[in-house]
């Protein structure tokens, strides 16, 4: 998710994103939501199904 947010110019990361959820993830995701037109409580930085689908995060299988 973090790298996709960087690609979408929605980064609030001080360095490269990592695999743990952090305040920078929430700020970056809120920026993404705002870019999609969400405002107020709808741009809270918590992924929802519609905004997540639009981010096109590739599946990772271990």
Query: What span, in angstroms and rounded, lies between the C-alpha atoms of 4 and 17?
Result: 10
Question: Which tens digits make up the pLDDT trace of 47-61?
Answer: 999 999 999 998 776
- Domain coverage including residue 37: 2-55
- Does the structure show a pLDDT above 80 at 62? no
Q: Where are the alpha helices (DSSP H) in 1-62?
A: 2-7, 23-35, 49-55
Asked whether residue 51 is domain-assigned, the answer is yes
Question: Which tens digits make up the pLDDT trace of 3-56?
Answer: 999 999 999 999 999 999 999 999 999 999 999 999 999 999 999 999 999 999
Asked whether residue 43 is domain-assigned, the answer is yes
Asked whether residue 15 is domain-assigned, the answer is yes
Asked whether residue 49 is domain-assigned, the answer is yes
Asked whether residue 42 is domain-assigned, the answer is yes
Mean model confidence pLDDT for the chain: 95
Asked whether residue 47 is domain-assigned, the answer is yes
Asked whether residue 60 is domain-assigned, the answer is no
Number of domains forming the structure of the chain = 1
């Amino acid at each position: 998710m973090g790298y996709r947010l960087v690609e979408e110019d929605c980064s609030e990361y001080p360095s490269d994103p990592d695999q743990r959820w952090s305040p920078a993830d929430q700020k970056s995701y809120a920026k993404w939501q705002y870019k999609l037109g969400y405002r107020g409580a709808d741009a809270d930085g918590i992924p929802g199904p519609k905004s997540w689908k639009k981010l096109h995060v590739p599946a990772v299988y271990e």
